[in-house]
Amino acid sequence: MKRSTPITIEWKPDRNKNIPVYKQIIAYICEQAASGRWPIGSRLPSQRTLAGMFGVNRSTITAALEELASYGILKSSYGAGTQIASNTWSLLLPSTWNQYVSSGYFQANQAAIQAINHLEFVPDMICLGTGEPDPRLFPKKLWEETLSGLKGRIDSLGYLEPLGHLPLRQAISEHMKVLDIHVPPSSILITSGSLQALQLISVCLLKTGSTIFTEAPSYLKSLHIFQSEGMCLSGIPMDKQGISIPALEQRLKAGRSSGSPVLYTIPTNHNPTGITMTDRRRQELKSFCAANRLPIIEDGTYEELSFDDAPLKPLKASDKTGNVIYLGSASKALAPGLRIGWVAADEPIVQRLGDVKMQMDYGASSISQWIFAEFLSRGFYDAYLADLKGELRRRRDNALASLETHFKGIASWNIPTGGFFIWLTFLREISVDALFEKAARAHILLNPGDIYDFKKSNSLRLSYSYVSCEEFRKGAGELARIVKEL
């Protein structure tokens, strides 16, 4: 048998470092193997000797050697002890990268959201909180017509200009006139969903340390886009008419000194509460923001889903000064997988966002932009939307009736006038975390209020968009039973 090379160790882990001792040992052994100082076949001293050399417990050595063996860097065999088995980068890489996993500045998702993102794909799960249109409502025929309309017309799928596909921007500019938003195509930037628009705003327009005022609860709280950039979210209470202006005023006065504050608001079919800001509140909010030079990000992601025949105008509609950046999306009324959203704002703003977007991804998917442009310009969107809203209204009524049957005396809730969501608050304090877990075991997926709120929440975001009437009824009945047992 070939004699293995003896190895020497003149190193000890540094206990003052932030890195766990066993990870330092792993890194040290990897480095020795990768540099060739410990060639393949080198035999390591016994675990007891290693523990003495490194000045650590034997269990620390065992943990480090097991991890190295799992990467294939070490192997143990009877009679030959533990030897270096590999020094290739491909095998060493996992341990090196593992140390970097959470080094980046972007914060991880909340644990509950990570769980939801997986559980949504479990078959037979009744998703009572999912903020998406039911895939069974997908307008197959319309899309088939749209796609066949494009037959032979797509002459290239190259990168598009920085603001996005011109025919799409023209179609969106035309489309937004119904909302009384009048902006030329040069003031529209196509993004990969409105989510990307938020990210672009955070990296292009806002300073680290700035305060973002928003409704409490808010969709924004479920993301870490602004916090990851070192900004601070400040949740402003809502009433049935929308965000509370006296509370905003108080908060603004108290914290104005930090960075350049902005207001992020979802006035129409708010996520997660389903509240639509009244017209009066909209006017007051606009005057307040203008007087206090507080710029507004208006999230119109659910704009088109109001059941009212004469929906309220967005804040952007009468914006003469450019104080409002408006975000639109094709996700909620049509297809989230298209990943198409847009920003409507003054030209210097969209130019700046577009320039950075080019550095990030060279533009939203060209094929999606072609398809959505075709969809809009074919002129059947209005009829489709009327059908979708009819169905959503039917589902809302069914959801409210189910809650009346199963949750009377247990919880209170609001009556949304559009969108997907009902905000349900339990009358007695319950552990929403425990409810989430028990419900998931019973194949009911919930969106706990904590995800969106700024304080401990006793609420759930319910959604009637993703499940059929029957599924909602069944899910609500089962949920009420679990709540009573808690």
Ligand X SMILES: Cc1ncc(COP(=O)(O)O)c(C=O)c1O
Task: Tell which positions 32-61 bind ligand X, by CB under 6 A.
Answer: none
Whether residue 302 contacts residue 159, with contact meaning beta carbons closer than 8 Å, is answered with no
336 touches ligand X by CB under 6 A = yes
What is the smallest separation between the CB atom of 133 and ligand X, expressed in angstroms? 11
Nearest CB to ligand X, comparing residues 335 and 483: 335
Nearest CB to ligand X, comparing residues 341 and 354: 341
User: What residue number has its CB nearest to ligand X?
Assistant: 193
Segment lying near ligand X (by CB under 6 A), choices 110-118, 165-173, 191-199, 467-475: 191-199
Whether residue 213 contacts residue 252, with contact meaning beta carbons closer than 8 Å, is answered with yes
Segment lying near ligand X (by CB under 6 A), choices 120-128, 188-196, 368-376, 443-451: 188-196
What 8-state DSSP symbol labels residue 16? Answer: T
195 touches ligand X by CB under 6 A = yes
Nearest CB to ligand X, comparing residues 68 and 231: 231
Whether residue 40 contacts residue 87, with contact meaning beta carbons closer than 8 Å, is answered with yes
Nearest CB to ligand X, comparing residues 68 and 266: 266
194 touches ligand X by CB under 6 A = yes
What is the smallest separation between the CB atom of 353 and ligand X, expressed in angstroms? 15
Alpha-helical runs (H) found in 292-431:
347-360, 366-377, 381-407
What is the smallest separation between the CB atom of 328 and ligand X, expressed in angstroms? 8
Site string for ligand X, 115-134 (x = CB under 6 A): ----------------x---
What 8-state DSSP symbol labels residue 418? Answer: B
What is the smallest separation between the CB atom of 219 and ligand X, expressed in angstroms? 4
Site string for ligand X, 200-219 (x = CB under 6 A): -------------------x
Looking at beta carbons, which pairs linking 386-394 to residues 24 or more positions away fall under 8 Å? 388/133, 388/137, 388/305, 388/333, 389/305, 389/306, 389/307, 389/418, 391/137, 392/305, 392/307, 392/418, 392/419, 392/420, 392/464, 392/465, 393/307, 394/469
Task: Tell which positions 348-377 bind ligand X, by CB under 6 A.
Answer: none
What is the smallest separation between the CB atom of 302 and ligand X, expressed in angstroms? 7
d(CA 175, CA 423): 30
Nearest CB to ligand X, comparing residues 215 and 374: 215
What 8-state DSSP symbol labels residue 170? Answer: H
Segment lying near ligand X (by CB under 6 A), choices 22-30, 54-62, 283-291, 328-336: 328-336
Residues in contact with 144: Cβ distance below 8 Å, sequence separation at least 6, in sequence order: none
Nearest CB to ligand X, comparing residues 210 and 368: 368
Residue that the structure tokens 């339990």 belong to: 426
Task: Tell me, by CB under 6 A, how many residues bind ligand X.
Answer: 13
What is the smallest separation between the CB atom of 452 and ligand X, expressed in angstroms? 10
Nearest CA to 273 among 315, 224, 239, 234? 239
Segment lying near ligand X (by CB under 6 A), choices 176-184, 304-312, 329-337, 408-416: 329-337
d(CA 125, CA 401): 22
State the number of CA atoms in the 13 A half-sphere of 61 facing the CB: 17
Nearest CB to ligand X, comparing residues 199 and 323: 199
* 125, β-bridge pairs: none
Torsion angle of the four alpha carbons 159, 161, 163, 166, in this order, in degrees rounded to the nearest 10: -100
Whether residue 378 contacts residue 451, with contact meaning beta carbons closer than 8 Å, is answered with no
Residue choice 130, 331, 368, 457 for contact with ligand X (CB under 6 A): 331
What is the smallest separation between the CB atom of 67 and ligand X, expressed in angstroms? 38
Whether residue 426 contacts residue 483, with contact meaning beta carbons closer than 8 Å, is answered with yes
271 touches ligand X by CB under 6 A = yes
Binding site for ligand X (CB under 6 A): 131, 193-195, 219, 266, 271, 299, 301, 329, 331, 336, 341
